[in-house]
């Protein structure tokens, strides 16, 4: 297992649309282990393969307080959603930046597990938000792109300033 480098916004590779996983192989299972290790080390509650420059439809999530309830979603697809709420979000690819995004309150998602078996998961609250956030990454979208152009520009300026001071 390895801790992978997380791409930082505005890296253009974050806008790459991920391809469906054709078959769940040992290579995909290794990617999942690496994604989980990277997410836990960051620390975060979700990570999409796109964020580590692997453009396949794979997500890992763990919203538990004990960090021992890993959820793996391969080729996730939202099949139902209900309600709308504003949630305060952050992102490992946009460190230190938080803001509200409107998301569905509850969702049903169909995906494959690590054995390649299809399942349906009903989620609400933080888990529903996290799934939608990570699925956006697979579609090449970062949460700050829901904001106004002005707020995006200010965010980008803050990130660039932070990067310059880190050098």
Structure confidence at residue 78 (pLDDT): 98
Q: Is 97 inside a domain boundary?
A: yes
Average pLDDT over the chain reads 96
Structure confidence at residue 159 (pLDDT): 87
Helix (H) or strand (E) holding 28: helix 26-41
Structure confidence at residue 161 (pLDDT): 86
pLDDT per position as a tens digit, 94-119? 999 999 999 999 999 999 999 999 99
Structure confidence at residue 167 (pLDDT): 72
Catalytic option among 56, 89, 134, 145: 134
Whether 134 is catalytic is: yes
Q: Is 111 inside a domain boundary?
A: yes
Q: Is 3 inside a domain boundary?
A: no
* Among candidate residues 65, 25, 31, 30, the one with its CA nearest the CA of residue 48: 31
CA distances (Å), 64 to each of 17, 21, 69, 109, in order?
Answer: 28, 26, 6, 19
Domain count, the chain: 1
Structure confidence at residue 33 (pLDDT): 98
- Give CA–CA dist 112/141, Å, rounded: 22
Confidence of residue 60 (pLDDT cuts 50, 70, 90): very high
Tokens matching residue 24: 């769940």
Structure confidence at residue 29 (pLDDT): 98
Q: Is 4 inside a domain boundary?
A: no
Does pLDDT of 1 surpass 80? no
Does pLDDT of 62 surpass 80? yes
Q: Is 121 inside a domain boundary?
A: yes
Provide the whole-model pTM.
0.96
Q: What integer is the mean pLDDT of 44-68?
A: 97
Which CATH number does the domain housing residue 89 bear? 3.90.45.10
Could you tell me the residue range of the domain that residue 154 belongs to? 12-166
CA angle 32, 50, 5 (to 5 degrees): 75
Label the pairing between strands 94-112 and 58-61.
unpaired
Asked if 103 and 110 touch (Cβ cutoff 8 Å), the reply is no
CB burial of 79-93 (b: ≥16 within 10 Å; e: otherwise) equals eeeeeeeebebebbb
């Amino acid at each position: 297992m390895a801790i992978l480098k997380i791409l930082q916004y505005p890296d253009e590779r974050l806008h790459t649309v991920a391809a469906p996983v054709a078959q769940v192989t040992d290579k995909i299972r290794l990617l999942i282990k690496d994604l989980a290790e990277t997410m836990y080390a960051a620390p975060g509650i979700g990570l999409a393969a796109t964020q580590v420059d692997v453009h396949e439809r794979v997500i890992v999530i763990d919203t538990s307080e004990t960090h021992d309830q890993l959820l793996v979603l391969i080729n996730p697809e939202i099949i139902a959603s209900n309600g709308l709420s504003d949630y305060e979000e952050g992102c490992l690819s946009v460190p230190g930046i938080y803001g509200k995004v409107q998301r569905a309150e509850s969702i049903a998602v169909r995906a494959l597990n690590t054995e390649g078996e299809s399942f349906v998961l009903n989620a609400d609250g933080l888990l529903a938000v996290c799934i939608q956030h990570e699925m956006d990454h697979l579609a090449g979208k970062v949460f700050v792109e829901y904001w106004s152009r002005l707020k995006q520009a200010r965010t980008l300026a803050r990130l660039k300033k932070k990067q310059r001071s880190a050098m």
